Amino acid sequence: MAITSAVSDLLSSIRELLASVFGTAYAIIHSFVASILGLFTGFFAFLGDLGKGVFDVAGGVGKFVAGNAAIIAVLGAAYLAYGRFVKQPQQGRKPAVVNGAGAGKKTN
């Protein structure tokens, strides 16, 4: 009986060894595939959050502009007035030259 028991234990150990090897291989492949899928789902979640953030920022800027429209209009008008009257030289007729200092010599 000892030989039968020993052979039975040996075959049981070989079966457990093969089951352990295949179980480990399955666990490694499963974790690799799960990691790749997690990477893709994380990337798409990131894109969704990024889009939501961009729309939140745009909405915040829109609310700011709408809330401060009068102040922005006054600042825009002041900028236009500054550019029109202060920055640019006046256009139109040149002043007449009076005889004297700025008259210069007349030649025919």
6-16 pLDDT, tens digit per residue, is 999 999 999 99
Predicted confidence (pLDDT) per residue in 33-67, tens digit: 999 999 999 999 999 999 999 999 888 888 888 88
Q: What is the value of pTM for the model shown?
A: 0.47
Q: Give the whole-angstrom CA distance, residue 62 versus residue 85.
A: 31
Query: Cα separations (Å) of 27 from 30, 35, 40?
Result: 5, 12, 20
Predicted pLDDT of residue 2: 86
Q: Give the whole-angstrom CA distance, residue 24 versus residue 22.
A: 5
User: Residue 29's pLDDT band (boundaries 50, 70, 90)?
Assistant: very high
Q: Give the whole-angstrom CA distance, residue 13 versus residue 7.
A: 10
Predicted pLDDT of residue 83: 84
Percent of the chain with pLDDT over 90: 54
